[in-house]
Amino acid sequence: MINGNNDKISVQGSTLKLAAFACTLGTVAAQEVDLSPYRGQTVRVYLDGSLQLRINPAEDMFWQLVEITIPAPQSSQVQQGTTEVEKTESATILRGETDFDEVPGIDGRDITSVGNYWQNLRKGEEWQPEVAGVRWIGERSPKVGEEYPVILTEISREPIMVSVMEPLDLAEIDIQTFDNPI
């Protein structure tokens, strides 16, 4: 919202516009400036001696036109599809007396590896996965009562989230304007 009675200043989105007018230094051309880079700051807009718009200058200026406190950037998280993610978990199992060892909490996950890496127990030759655990089919297997690791793998769909910067709309912000130079 524009406060003050300067009818030469208007806003559109993040752009501050100045309409052309005449003053004692000459004719001020119509100009505009994007204030998006100044989010989170108090901005003062001036006319310099060449009648050009300047923002927060460090040197002396001819005339201040606007003062505005621009809010910090706002963003939101938006889902942009999904992706497959492989999750692995290790469980330690105690070798039983039969050729089948149940894997508690398998819950539909796949068994991808059995035993320690140095044991080189091969899927399809020494063991095979089943719905509820591991079936030993070969001559090689851990001894009865021995603990061994089982790697469980699950493929799940996870959302892909991206940050979206909310656009700056100066019409929603209080803008203090000052009279134009005569």
The reply to whether 134 falls in a domain is yes
| Number of domains, the chain | 2
On whether residue 125 sits in a domain, the answer given is: yes
Radius of gyration of the chain (CA): 35
**In terms of domains, do 62 and 23 share one?**
yes
Same domain (yes/no): 111, 150: yes
One domain for residues 63 and 129:
no
pLDDT of residue 126: 94
Residue 54 placed within a domain: yes
- Which residue range is the domain that position 43 belongs to? 2-74+166-177
Do 86 and 69 fall into the same domain?
no
Tens of pLDDT, residues 128-177: 999 999 999 988 999 999 999 999 999 999 999 999 999 999 999 999 99
Handedness of CA 136, 140, 144, 145 (dihedral sign): negative
What is the pLDDT at residue 182? 80
Confidence (pLDDT) at 107: 87
pLDDT at 74: 92
CA 167 – CA 163 distance, rounded (Å) = 12
Can you give the pLDDT at residue 68? Answer: 96
Q: Round to whole Å and give the CA distance between 165 and 76.
A: 7
For the chain, residues with pLDDT lower than 50 are none
Tell me, yes or no, whether 10 and 70 share the same domain.
yes
- Are residues 84 and 34 located together in one domain of the fold? no
- pLDDT at residue 152, rounded to an integer: 96
For residues 118 and 153, membership in a common domain is answered with yes
Tell me: do 157 and 84 sit in the same domain: yes
Q: Based on the domain organization, do 143 and 173 belong to the same domain?
A: no
For residues 134 and 103, membership in a common domain is answered with yes
Residue 12, in any domain of the structure: yes
Q: Is residue 182 part of a domain?
A: no
**61, 45: one domain:** yes
Please compute, for residue 46, the number of CA atoms within 13 A of its CA located in the half-sphere on the CB side.
15
Q: Are residues 85 and 155 in the same domain?
A: yes
Look at residue 153 and tell me if it is in a domain.
yes
